[in-house]
A = this chain, B = another copy of it.
Amino acid sequence: MAEKKYVYSFKNKDAHKLGKNILGGKGAGLAEMTSVGIPIPEGFTVTTEACNLYYAEGKKLPNYVIEEIYKAISNLEKETGKTFGGKTNPLLVSVRSGARASMPGMMDTILNLGLNDEVAEVMTKETGNETFAYDSYRRFILMYFNVVRNQPRVEMDKMLEDMKEKAGVKLDSELQAVHLKELVKQFKAFYKKTLGEDFPTDPRVQLIEAVTAVFRSWDNERANVYRKMHHIPYEWGTAVNVQSMVFGNKGETSGTGVAFSRSPATGEKHIFAEYLPNAQGEDVVAGIRTPLPISWLDENMPAVYKQFEETVHAMEKHYRDMQDMEFTVEEGKLYFLQTRNGKRTANAALKIACDLMDEGLITEEEAVLRVDPSLLDSLLHPGFDQKVLAKTTAIAGGLPASPGAATGKIAFDAKDAAARKEAGEKVVLVRSETSPEDIVGMVASEGILTARGGMTSHAAVVARGMGKTCIVGAHDVIIDEHAHTMKVGDKVYTTKDVISIDGTTGKIYEGALPLVEPTLTGYFARIMELADKHRRLRVRVNADTPLDATHGRDFGAEGIGLCRTEHMFFDADRIFFMRKMILSKTKEERVAALNQILPFQEQDFYEIYKVMLGMNVTVRLLDPPLHEFLPQEEEQIAALAKELKINVEQVHERIELLHEFNPMMGHRGVRLDVSYPEIAVMQTTAIINAALRAQKDTGKVIHPEIMIPLVLDVKELKYVKDIVVKTAEALIAKSGQKLHYHVGTMIEIPRAALLADEIAKEAEFFSFGTNDLTQMTYGFSRDDATKFIPDYFEARIFEQDPFQTIDQAGVGQLVKIAVERGRAANKDLHLGICGEHGGDPVSVEFFDSVGLDYVSCSPYRVPVARLAAAHANLKKKVK
């Protein structure tokens, strides 16, 4: 057997066939670019398998892999004619992570590796550019200290600031060689003081340390957070790319930039790029300096620009998708450092997919698959009311990095944002610039505002990925992160102030602006139409009100999968009757109170039916424990006592009696109907009478479905179903109309899934309540689990929140069991899911695979589910 290889040169003929799984995205891209003749600096990839090997060996790289890396460096020396640590023509390399899926900014990069005192001197001599040599060297020491040795960079950053002050300059690039040499000296001394050893001078030692540091960074906190958010398995590992350095910091004929082949914000078909002369890549990405428009390159170096433009178009054509590229110009020579399919906003994704399809580059199936369903969400959320906007003056502006609108109180750090979100507050995260450590805070915020950085800065890239409103580079905003204040002109804003940010225009407003529904582009309509054409799963909406129902229908819902009746009871004009019902001591009292609720319920259903004419409307009977409806405040308790003609103590006593140890596992759902059949009678009456009235008034057919929640046994279902059917039949007979209604159950208790064969005999439909099913299958409640789930992520027991994405191994197993047994017992059984997983793309794919008939989700998630359903169906065909 041939020995396994862990290192591949970009030029290796086999390399570009190995693909992302082995080489990582960046490595595969570099190999492919090499194979098609794009100018890139030479180098090699250490594979993802080496990463896994590193972890399997207890975070140690085996000697045979180290030998392979050394051999690759020797080859690189031959190819480039340079020498690693050499006394002439020295080879410097960059060491970058490159996972299978793009994880921008999540892992570590080390540039200028190979430098030491000797090499810096050789570079000075050979380039005649001492500033360049020591600028590279000071950068390298800091990155090595920070990334490889995992030390905070704050002290070294301060030395740089002090040096700039001493030199009387503002920008890093204005520093002279003398300053930079002094800085290198300071850095090395600090390195030794902190770590108790000298900065390593052997480039081969530097290299192996850097490679393993990148492997370690696969396991850092921000990478873990990112993976969780993007469903990237820990097992994938990252590859490492070692590439000979080219230098954008060699003076004014050098520079570095990033480019998108089309606009990642709007999808417009023109190259969208930024360029920073005399800089290294990290300066652009970290947002330390705000880059120039690419036109600068065209104006100043037109030949380079022409080559740049041609290469960008060629690469887009080659990859048949919008490309996100990094490039460097070294003394007038252009190099591309990487290319990948670009992250994009939802609108851009839609437009690009349609355009590429129209350009004949991709098929309609591919166009559908090109739009990530989870991105759509951002499109569908409200923006600011344009009329109000017209009359409102922005207090400042910045770059519109990620579209949408957000309103919230200011949070100045990630931790504060997360804590306040947890406490129920809406916050906007305001930072000078963001770094990967801020991810948790970005997730928790309504939107993100940074004072620095460009459209490709960390904040911008990450926010777009999240579909979260973001403004960057708002230079007029002065942020004091320590004092927790934001200053605009003379006005100071604190954590108590509310701001509104418009990620589509880049404008920032004081106070809360009213939000309105989004208007969707024709691209959205085209992609959704194609999605509908290519999906099997039906999509319904979870809607408790006529307004929700209207939203859902307008977003393409094909019915209501879950109409919760309990929210209706909370309205001020009915909660009182509800409480009266709950505190009733006799059946007669209870029936009397229910009869007062009946007209409200009937009217609610009537209006919902009118929105959903001709579609199925699934109404769930009362679900939560009754004590949720009871008053907490003495004033309300007193009012209740008066109405019930008992004293306040008695009301307290009755409330006390309803107390439950574990309300989630208490007297709720179908159990209420078993104890108080009159509740089922009232609700059935409202459902059926409303349907009869709506049929009569509209002349259209109404399809009510009555759903009995929390069932655990067929006898329990039958007991309540018999009450429902008896009530319904009598009302229908009395009306003289025809009405088709269905009675089914939720499958949300493990026992119901296990006994689905029996239950299916009495049910016309199952709707999986995956929220409760997850709670019971895991044995923990969603509310309480927030306290320990973070520990589970940290211990790497969980990689996903099972309440967000369905747990296929456990909960999914119960879903499969229920589907198989249910269908076997009742071939006409209709199957859906109405838990929150119904709007999660990964979960939708699972539900498609097990053969459900529909998913149901919240109104704004309906398009997401429609597209996810198409993805699920198309991916099956690809397989």
Contact of A674 among B716, B797, B810 (CB under 8 A): B797
- Interface membership of A424, Cβ < 8 A: no
Contacts of A755 in B (CB 8 A): 809-810, 813
Are B784 and A662 in touch, CB under 8 angstroms? yes
A751 to B776, CA, bound (A): 9
- Interface membership of A487, Cβ < 8 A: no
Are A788 and B675 in touch, CB under 8 angstroms? yes
Contact of A792 among B660, B716, B772, B798 (CB under 8 A): B716
A680, chain B: closest CB distance, angstroms: 12
Interface membership of chain A positions 722-738, coded 1 if the CB is closer than 8 angstroms to chain B and 0 otherwise: 00000000000000000
Contacts of A775 in B (CB 8 A): 665
Contact of A781 among B662, B772, B795 (CB under 8 A): B662
Are A814 and B772 in touch, CB under 8 angstroms? no
Contacts of A662 in B (CB 8 A): 662-665, 781, 783-784
A455, chain B: closest CB distance, angstroms: 40
- Interface membership of A296, Cβ < 8 A: no
A712 and B751 in contact, given A667-B787, A675-B788 (Cβ under 8 angstroms): no
A791, chain B: closest CB distance, angstroms: 4
Contacts of A792 in B (CB 8 A): 674, 716
Are B715 and A810 in touch, CB under 8 angstroms? no
Are A788 and B665 in touch, CB under 8 angstroms? no
Chain A: how many interface residues by the 8 Å CB criterion? 48
Are B712 and A781 in touch, CB under 8 angstroms? no
A798 to B813, CA, bound (A): 27
A856, chain B: closest CB distance, angstroms: 21
Interface centre among A665, A667, A749, A810 (most CB of B within 10 A): A665
A748, chain B: closest CB distance, angstroms: 8
- Interface membership of A778, Cβ < 8 A: yes
- Interface membership of A570, Cβ < 8 A: no
Are B749 and A796 in touch, CB under 8 angstroms? no
Are B795 and A777 in touch, CB under 8 angstroms? no
A518, chain B: closest CB distance, angstroms: 35
Are A750 and B772 in touch, CB under 8 angstroms? no
- Interface membership of A710, Cβ < 8 A: yes
A751 and B777 in contact, given A674-B788, A792-B674 (Cβ under 8 angstroms): yes
A664 to B666, CA, bound (A): 11
Are B663 and A778 in touch, CB under 8 angstroms? no
Contact of A716 among B713, B797, B813 (CB under 8 A): B797
Are A779 and B749 in touch, CB under 8 angstroms? yes
A25, chain B: closest CB distance, angstroms: 27
A732 to B556, CA, bound (A): 66
A775 to B813, CA, bound (A): 19
Contacts of A783 in B (CB 8 A): 661-662
Contacts of A139 in B (CB 8 A): none
Contacts of A785 in B (CB 8 A): 665
Are B750 and A780 in touch, CB under 8 angstroms? no
Contact of A795 among B660, B674, B809 (CB under 8 A): B674
A797 and B715 in contact, given A772-B779, A777-B750, A791-B674 (Cβ under 8 angstroms): yes
- Interface membership of A754, Cβ < 8 A: yes
Interface membership of chain A positions 808-820, coded 1 if the CB is closer than 8 angstroms to chain B and 0 otherwise: 0111011000000
- Interface membership of A719, Cβ < 8 A: yes
A661 and B784 in contact, given A750-B776, A750-B814, A755-B809 (Cβ under 8 angstroms): yes
A622 to B695, CA, bound (A): 60
A778 and B749 in contact, given A662-B784, A667-B784 (Cβ under 8 angstroms): yes
Are A712 and B667 in touch, CB under 8 angstroms? no
A664 and B667 in contact, given A751-B777, A751-B779, A792-B674 (Cβ under 8 angstroms): no
Contact of A778 among B667, B712, B772, B813 (CB under 8 A): B712
Are A784 and B751 in touch, CB under 8 angstroms? no
A800, chain B: closest CB distance, angstroms: 12
Are B776 and A813 in touch, CB under 8 angstroms? no
Closest to A625 in B: B784
A443 to B114, CA, bound (A): 85
Contact of A796 among B667, B715, B797 (CB under 8 A): B715
- Interface membership of A671, Cβ < 8 A: yes
Which residues of A653-695 have CB atoms within 8 Å of chain B's CB atoms? 660-667, 671, 674-675
Contact of A719 among B665, B715, B719, B795 (CB under 8 A): B795
Contacts of A784 in B (CB 8 A): 660-663, 665-667
A663 to B787, CA, bound (A): 12
Contacts of A787 in B (CB 8 A): 660, 666-667
A715 to B792, CA, bound (A): 10
A784 to B661, CA, bound (A): 6
Interface centre among A715, A748, A780 (most CB of B within 10 A): A780
Contact of A751 among B661, B716, B811 (CB under 8 A): B811
Are A780 and B719 in touch, CB under 8 angstroms? no
Are A665 and B780 in touch, CB under 8 angstroms? yes
Contact of A675 among B749, B791, B798 (CB under 8 A): B791
A749 to B814, CA, bound (A): 13
Interface membership of chain A positions 104-138, coded 1 if the CB is closer than 8 angstroms to chain B and 0 otherwise: 00000000000000000000000000000000000
Contacts of A750 in B (CB 8 A): 750, 776-777, 779, 810, 814
A781 and B674 in contact, given A755-B809, A796-B715 (Cβ under 8 angstroms): no
A619, chain B: closest CB distance, angstroms: 21
A791 to B660, CA, bound (A): 17
A813 to B791, CA, bound (A): 32
Contacts of A719 in B (CB 8 A): 795, 797
Contacts of A667 in B (CB 8 A): 784, 787-788
Which residues of A483-535 have CB atoms within 8 Å of chain B's CB atoms? none
A810 to B753, CA, bound (A): 9
A320, chain B: closest CB distance, angstroms: 39
Contacts of A798 in B (CB 8 A): 713
Interface membership of chain A positions 268-287, coded 1 if the CB is closer than 8 angstroms to chain B and 0 otherwise: 00000000000000000000
A586, chain B: closest CB distance, angstroms: 15
Contacts of A781 in B (CB 8 A): 660-662, 665-666
Contacts of A710 in B (CB 8 A): 779
A425 to B24, CA, bound (A): 69
Contact of A814 among B666, B713, B715, B754 (CB under 8 A): B754
Excluding A663-B784, A666-B784, A754-B777, 9 further A-B contacts by CB distance (< 8 Å) are: A660-B787, A661-B783, A665-B784, A674-B788, A674-B795, A710-B779, A713-B797, A713-B798, A754-B809
Show the binding face of A for B, using Cβ within 8 Å.
660-667, 671, 674-675, 710, 712-713, 715-716, 719, 748-751, 754-755, 772, 775-781, 783-785, 787-788, 791-792, 795-798, 807, 809-811, 813-814
A-B contact pairs, 10 of them (CB 8 A): A660-B787, A661-B781, A665-B781, A671-B791, A674-B795, A715-B796, A716-B792, A749-B777, A751-B810, A754-B814
Q: Which 5 A-B pairs have the closest CB atoms?
A: A751-B810, A749-B779, A665-B781, A666-B784, A662-B781
